[in-house]
Amino acid sequence: RIEGLLEKYCKFLPVPIQFGTKTEYFETGEGDDKKEEKREVPNIINETRPIWKRQPTDLKDEDYLRFYRELYPMSPEPMFWIHLNIDYPFNLTGVLYFPKLGNSMEVTRNKIHLYSNQVYVTDDVRDIVPEWLLLLHGVIDSPDIPLNVSRSYLQSDSNVKKISEYITKKVADKLHDLFKNDRPAFEQKWRDVGVFVKYGMISDKKFEERAMNFALVQNVKGESFLLNDYKEKIKTSQTDKHSKIVVIYTNDPDGHHAQINATQNRGYDVLQLDTVLDNHWMQHIEYRGGDSNLVFVRVDSDTVDNLVQKDEKRESVLSEKEQEEVKKIFETVVKNQVGASVSLSPLSPDEQPVLITKPEFMRRMKEMQTMHGMGGLGDFPESYNVVVNTNHPLVAQKLLKISDDSEKNTFSQYLVNLALLQQGMLRGEALTGFVSATLGKL
């Protein structure tokens, strides 16, 4: 137990600490006379000159990686790191590592260790390091952080505030340097770095201002852009009648394949925004004020004609009476499907006869409440629109020429099921029945 306490609190003390002895094996002699011997040597349990007390110029990448493996032996190797070293207006040294986050945003609050003059203090640095920086791993060492004080005193301490701002600036500078010096490599790492950067942008206004110089968005083609550059790219084709630049995105490129194709055929670009934080980040960008005139819409939130609303209007080939009849048929078909509503739209004949769309605002609110474990919208069934393309030949010609009402309903149900299947929303008994009916037609 004593050794464990020494390991925890004195592992990097600046003076050697001996705890008993240990056996050291060594070889003597050569050739046939070679033999292994042993001897007892002092058991020094601490490293008196850890890497955060050394100059970055004296260290190699392997030194940083070896230290990381010593601190977190079960973790994958970090992507990169920053070396902290400042002695005015406060004293702070340390090394902070950027772990591979992927699509995870699980904040483990004990990954940054606080030391004071190389003596371990705590692994709970919530009142010293901003919440979003707790995603980092590593060590900070400062004698200027007051110890054994209340949380409110710590939060109001001027040195603590300056240390927090300094670390934030160093993180932003490191990310900007990586972007500027080797953009292709930075783009390759964006999948892991992006969650961290977006969390910082949402949480810290100063960091957000700096992050605009390196925060990326990536489209489904794998191309990467700074947000302001992307605005310029889509400005001409994706500005709606309200002068808003419409950013179209998907969180499931495979599941939205048909909608993405239709959208790209219209000349629009589609971003891939599929991390756990993207709903919050999009809303933050939309409402952050200033000159922000972006609005985000998911590719399946409406028909292609309405994703970017223009003043143009397409006419339906059906009369008003025929449209009423079509709507009544489809409302009968979906009346038992909870959350479904029917609307008619005069789309291109080349579009699908029936499409499923999910209203952006309601879906986004439901997803965020579900993520936070809240009730309200998260408890309600998913709402969606069954959009009937009145200009498609299967609707405008074939459906209306069927004389038997039962056959009309069966045909309409088949079209709705095709649309649901395409969205991955046809399950259970409905899916089994659809497969059986399809096999019966073959």
Same domain, 58 and 111: yes
pLDDT-derived band at 108, boundaries 50, 70, 90: low
Q: Are residues 376 and 273 in the same domain?
A: no
CA dist 218 and 225 (Å) reads 6
The whole-number pLDDT of residue 237 equals: 95
Question: For residues 389 and 354, is the Cβ–Cβ distance under 8 A?
Answer: yes
Supply the pLDDT for residue 371.
60
* Residue percentage of the chain with pLDDT more than 70: 92
Could you give the C-alpha distances from 355 to 39, 384, 401, in angstroms and in order?
A: 79, 10, 21
| Domain-located, residue 211 | no
Q: How far apart are the first and last CA of the chain?
A: 75
Q: Is residue 403 part of a domain?
A: yes
225 within some domain: yes
Distance, in Å, from the CA atom of 118 to the CA atom of 351, rounded to the nearest integer, reads 67
Whether residues 57 and 177 share a domain: the answer is: yes
Mean pLDDT is lowest, of 146-150, 201-205, 248-252, 425-429, for 146-150
Segment (H or E) for 75: none
Q: Which of 206-220, 229-243, 366-380, 382-396 has the lowest mean pLDDT?
A: 366-380
Query: How high is the pLDDT of residue 250?
Result: 96
Q: Is the peptide bond before 89 cis (omega within 30 degrees of 0)?
A: yes
- What is residue 147's predicted lDDT score, i.e. its pLDDT? 73
Answer yes or no: is 200 within a domain: no
Report yes or no on 209 lying in a domain.
Answer: no
Alpha helices in 295-424 (DSSP H): 304-307, 320-334, 360-371, 393, 400-401, 405-422
Phi–psi pair at 83, nearest 5 degrees? -105, 120
Written as one string, the DSSP assignment of 216-272 is EEEBTTS-EEEHHHHHHHHTTTSB-TTSPEEEEEES-TTTTHHHHHHHHHTT--EEE
- Count of structural domains, the chain: 4
* Pair (301, 336) in one structural domain: no
Most confident of 13-22, 166-175, 308-317: 166-175
Six-digit token pair at 195?
A: 């969650």
Q: Do 40 and 137 share a domain, yes or no?
A: no
CA distance 417 to 422: 8
Q: Are residues 80 and 40 in the same domain?
A: no
**pLDDT value at 3 more than 80:** no
At 153 the pLDDT is 60
- Kindly state whether residue 94 falls inside one of the protein's structural domains: yes
Return the number of other C-beta atoms located less than 10 Å from residue 176's C-beta.
15
Region 182-192: what's the mean pLDDT? 93
* Strand ranges inside 117-250, DSSP E: 119-122, 137-141, 216-218, 224-226, 245-250
* Euclidean distance between CA atoms 301 and 364, whole angstroms: 10
Mean pLDDT score of the chain: 88
Tell me, yes or no, whether 375 and 423 share the same domain: yes
Q: Could you give the CA distance from residue 429 to residue 71 in angstroms, rounded to a whole number? A: 52
**For residue 205, is it within any domain?**
no
Q: How far apart are CA 340 and CA 338, in angstroms?
A: 6
212 occurs within a structural domain: no
Using the predicted structure, report yes or no on whether residue 291 has a pLDDT greater than 80.
no
Q: pTM of the prediction? A: 0.81
User: Over the stretch 396-424, which tens digit does the pLDDT of each residue have?
Assistant: 999 999 999 999 999 999 999 999 998 88
The pLDDT of 276-284, averaged and rounded, is 90
Residue whose structure tokens are 């464990």: 4
Cα–Cα distance measured from residue 217 to residue 239, given in angstroms and rounded to the nearest whole number: 18
Report the CATH number that the domain containing residue 426 is assigned in CATH.
1.20.120.790
Residues 6+ apart with CB under 8 A from 97: 64, 68, 78, 80, 81, 136, 137, 138
Q: What is the pLDDT, as a whole number, of residue 341?
A: 92
Average pLDDT over residues 198-216: 94
Question: Residue 70: which of 138, 133, 5 has the closest Cα?
Answer: 138
Which domain range does residue 37 map to? 2-44
pLDDT class for 264, splitting at 50, 70, 90?
Answer: very high
The fraction of the chain above a pLDDT of 90, given in percent, is 56
Average pLDDT on 48-59 reads: 92
Give the per-residue pLDDT at 373: 58
Q: What is the tens place of the pLDDT at every residue in 345-379?
A: 999 998 999 999 988 877 777 776 666 555 554 45
pLDDT at 374: 54
- Work out the pLDDT band at 200, boundaries 50, 70, 90: very high
| pLDDT over 70 at 295, yes or no | yes
CATH number at residue 106: 3.30.230.80
- 344 with 437, same domain: the answer is yes
Of 235-249, 263-277, 363-377, the least confident:
363-377
Q: What integer pLDDT is reported at residue 209 of this predicted model?
A: 93
